Amino acid sequence: MKTKILFILAISGIITFNTEAQDALTYNSGIHKTESEIKTPTVYVFEFTAYSRDYELENISSEMAGEHPFGDQIAKKIYLLESKYTSEVAIVPGNPQTKTVIQKPVIYESVKRIEKQLKKSVKKEELSVSNAAFTFNKVLDVALNTLTANTQSFEVAIESLDETDAKIELFTKRVILIY
């Protein structure tokens, strides 16, 4: 009789230990979270060292930069962006054909899409020209100052966003430029 009771106690102890171990594993793995923890994702803020580009913009004439719907200053910054981010490389030595190489294509393409989106918003009169110019100026400042910075996590954040409006918010509200 004693052996049967001892055997039953041992089996129930093993079963209880296994279920408690599963509960502890669930608790430690983070599966058991409250609603407030699930609803609030972590928003990362990116900080980059920035430099004023006024000395470079002074050397760009209006003829070189061309015209832009958002103003002369934006046209000069776009010209500067093009000159900094793109370069022509010979395909084969001796051959006059070249190909355009883009540094940090994720950032460059995002800036181009943001420009297109802002132009559409102004055309549809959803946004004023001055507000669009202000927003795009901030986007250009971020793009010009991230060229030489380590931007791997920033590029991953850009790629994770599908909508252009979300990318605009990323460039304007989640990036801090430290002058």
Going by their DSSP bridges, the two strands 175-178 and 98-102 should be labelled as unpaired
| CA dist., res. 43 & res. 170, Å (int) | 10
What token pair was written down for 112?
């181009």
pLDDT of residue 5: 73
Going by their DSSP bridges, the two strands 86-90 and 98-102 should be labelled as antiparallel
DSSP 70: T
More confident residue, 65 or 22: 65
Quickly tell me which residue has 């190489």 as its tokens.
Answer: 101
Domain residue limits, the chain: 1-40, 41-178
- Residue 109, pLDDT > 60, answer yes
pLDDT band at 38 (very low <50, low <70, confident <90, very high): low
pTM recorded for the entire structure: 0.74
What is the pLDDT averaged over residues 127-154?
96
